[in-house]
A and B are shown apart, each in its own frame.
Chain A
């Protein structure tokens, strides 16, 4: 799933052109002009949602270390386990207009019909045949940072089993979920009709992601865009996640760099033994309860200088593209994999913050 790295929002007006084929797969249309805020009056209110948490969209200079918050009691362990150890593609979502938690069944029905219709476009299939596709929307309870956060929503596309007997299981072919963890710090007073579920994670065929996304965009007048992660934020993740205490088996902290501007491509993987990486971070991280930009910079500079000492190569001149730790791994194209339920909320808090600052 390599992408150019630029966010590629769906263009809402393109949805209506007849030859767009309905399916506008993500990544094919690159945005040159960015988000068009002035198209509808409802949309133009988007700008006032974001508290000026950061000046001119800069990265914050300090972040609170999330306590390993246990998931709230009503979390379904099976559903939570489903979210772990999977590769998710990240998107930021603008607030949804007139989304109602009471209508999930209705939305499931409408979305099923929409997906079936989109999939059938161009195929000579008899009318009424729903291709055995079933879409379900459900809530993901327990995924909240604060009580003000909206309840997370899970969308799943399952293909109905072709087997004749009754209790044959449906196979899930695509999943996507919306959440917003501790987003209330960053979102100002949200008008009543809007639901803020700023982070969207998708797993499965890109064609399905495009279809589901375009339905949400049309139905709730919102806007999805790929959430890419800058090298700066990847460095934050490397530092913060290396510092997390893990009871079980620790995996190496691995940083992957890609070298630009040379004729042959070159990738450098720098994997540090987890105990040694944590020991280094513990000597760097001094402020209790929070992490500062200086500490992240110092941590990275230490790693760069140890590398330079051996190879005489300036890693700081290369591009950090991927970070893997015991807790989670993240790729600059906007892919994430979370490995421990204990740190799920912490990781989602950081991603929610990135999503909201991208909407800004």
Chain B
């Protein structure tokens, strides 16, 4: 620590906690070099003059050390450190896996108008009454998103800042997005329900890294498909005529057009929400082709099918045009955004085969 830093600390009579200093140091180390200044500015904890003294062109270990020294001057506490961590995780929110939860009201209950201060107070009180050693921080963003960061301790140990849970709550909706939760789920759920004046909360079968896409799915912000009986013919769209050699004949032109058109209908025209996987637990009866004469038992043929891709829905959308799937592709796949789930259990329905998406 530089001499000036120490002087500043001694003057105020405050010595920054070692664990806080280390936590800030490690958080700054995580930030890519070109983002450091921006995030520190957003943090609004170091003054402009202080920020100007930081040299971002040296090795990151030195940068983080300088930041820690400045924080020492300003007497940083765990609260400020936590806020810096929240800024980092908000920027890189798509690195975590988010699970979606939905809250419900009891029958007949009215929706009260939302009061942020009230929410925060009740949430903290609920958690703290059960667990003394927790660090709780809030940060509000545009689009009514409230980010909550919780570091969990036990009765005898201080909160582990490195394994914090993140919660994103949109106050105008019953949806909560939770990531990095190892234990303490019941405590957290209880606090959320209590603070937001809901009655109950349950986990949806919906999980992904891209939280923005999860929001698109539950808030219905993607371009939805409308199940039309007659698909629109292609001529209605503005397709400029191609200048092709007239001797080239496209085989199956009609079929290709039909596939494109049907594919657009079932997937919708806009960009698909981004999810990375979908899992189907199948408990249907095995039925091969009639000539196969196989497995005539009526027991379910149990399998688990998992699809994974960096952008699953776009990949599935490209299957039929590539000739690897029928058009229309199965509604089991296209219903993912509408049903807002990517975990399914499929059981045999009496009579015709159909996708009955039962709950867990």
Q: Which residues of A contact B (CB under 8 A)?
A: 252, 259, 261-273, 276, 279-280, 283-284, 298, 301-302, 305-307, 309-314, 317-318
Contact = CB atoms under 8 A, between A and B. Distances in A.
Contact of B326 (A272, A307, A312): A312
B311 A264 contact: yes
Given A267-B308, A272-B301, A313-B319, 5 more contacts: A266-B309, A266-B316, A276-B303, A311-B332, A313-B326
19 contacts: A263-B315, A264-B310, A266-B309, A266-B315, A267-B308, A268-B307, A269-B304, A272-B302, A273-B302, A280-B301, A301-B289, A305-B292, A306-B286, A306-B301, A306-B303, A309-B353, A310-B355, A312-B326, A314-B324
Contacts of B333: 311
Contacts of B303: 270-273, 276, 306
B287 A283 contact: no
B280 interface: yes
B325 A265 contact: no
A307 to B, nearest CB: 7
A14 to B, nearest CB: 37
Contacts of A276: 286, 299-303
B332 to A, nearest CB: 6
Contacts of A301: 288-289, 292
Given A272-B302, A306-B301, A311-B329, A266 B307 contact: yes
Contacts of B353: 309-310
B234 interface: no
A264 B315 contact: yes
A309 B301 CA distance: 13
B318 A264 contact: yes
A250 to B, nearest CB: 12
Contacts of B330: 310-313
Contacts of B315: 259, 262-266
Contacts of B326: 312-314
Contacts of A269: 304-308
B295 interface: yes
A276 B282 CA distance: 12
Contacts of A302: 286, 288, 292, 294-295
A267 to B, nearest CB: 5
B309 A317 contact: no
A263 B312 CA distance: 11
B97 to A, nearest CB: 17
Given A284-B294, A302-B288, A313-B324, A262 B318 contact: yes
Contact of A259 (B280, B292, B324): B324
A318 B297 CA distance: 29
Interface of B: 280, 282, 284, 286-289, 292, 294-295, 297, 299-312, 314-316, 318-319, 322-326, 328-330, 332-333, 346, 353, 355
Contacts of A272: 301-303
A313 B329 contact: yes
Contacts of B299: 276
A305 B289 CA distance: 7
A284 B303 CA distance: 19
A91 B184 CA distance: 50
Given A265-B315, A280-B294, A283-B294, A305 B288 contact: yes
Nearest to A315: B324
A239 to B, nearest CB: 14
Q: What are the 6 tightest A-B residue pairs by CB atom distance, in nearest-first order?
A: A273-B302, A266-B315, A264-B315, A312-B326, A269-B306, A262-B318
B306 A280 contact: no
Contacts of A298: 292, 294
A295 to B, nearest CB: 11
B306 A310 contact: no
Contacts of B355: 310
A332 B165 CA distance: 39
A317 B303 CA distance: 20
A313 B309 contact: no
B332 A280 contact: no
A276 B304 CA distance: 12
Contact of A261 (B300, B304, B311, B322): B322
A271 B314 contact: no
Contact of B309 (A267, A305, A309): A267
A310 B346 contact: yes
A314 B328 CA distance: 13
B282 A310 contact: yes
Contacts of A310: 280, 282, 284, 305, 330, 332, 346, 353, 355
A44 B315 CA distance: 49
A318 B305 CA distance: 15
Contacts of B306: 268-269, 271
B292 A265 contact: no
